[in-house]
Amino acid sequence: MIYSLVATCKLHGIDPFEYFRDVLGRLPSHPINHIHELLPHNWKAAHTDSSH
């Protein structure tokens, strides 16, 4: 599963280290019904909108 997430990050031009650092910090308090927001393609969209 980890390899799949790393490969998906690379496919979307995301630094896997930055992705995991952010997601693992959010995971304990993130609502389970919004877990899809933490998938790499959704994570990138949210970070692109808010950081650029």
User: What is the reported pLDDT for 51?
Assistant: 53
Query: Domain of 11?
Result: 2-51
Instruction: Please check whether residue 18 is in contact with residue 39, taking contact to mean a CB–CB distance below 8 angstroms.
Output: no
**Per-residue exposure over 17-41, b if at least 16 CB sit within 10 Å of its own CB, e if not:** eebeeebeeeeeeeeeeeeeebebe
Helix (H, G, I), strand (E, B) or coil at 48: helix
Q: Can you list the positions of beta strands (E) in the chain?
A: none
Give how many domains the chain has, as a whole number.
1
Q: What is the pLDDT of residues 3-40, one digit of tens each?
A: 999 999 999 999 999 999 999 999 999 999 999 999 99
Terminal-to-terminal C-alpha distance of the chain: 30
Instruction: Please check whether residue 5 is in contact with residue 16, taking contact to mean a CB–CB distance below 8 angstroms.
Output: yes
Q: What is the pLDDT of residues 7-16, one digit of tens each?
A: 999 999 999 9
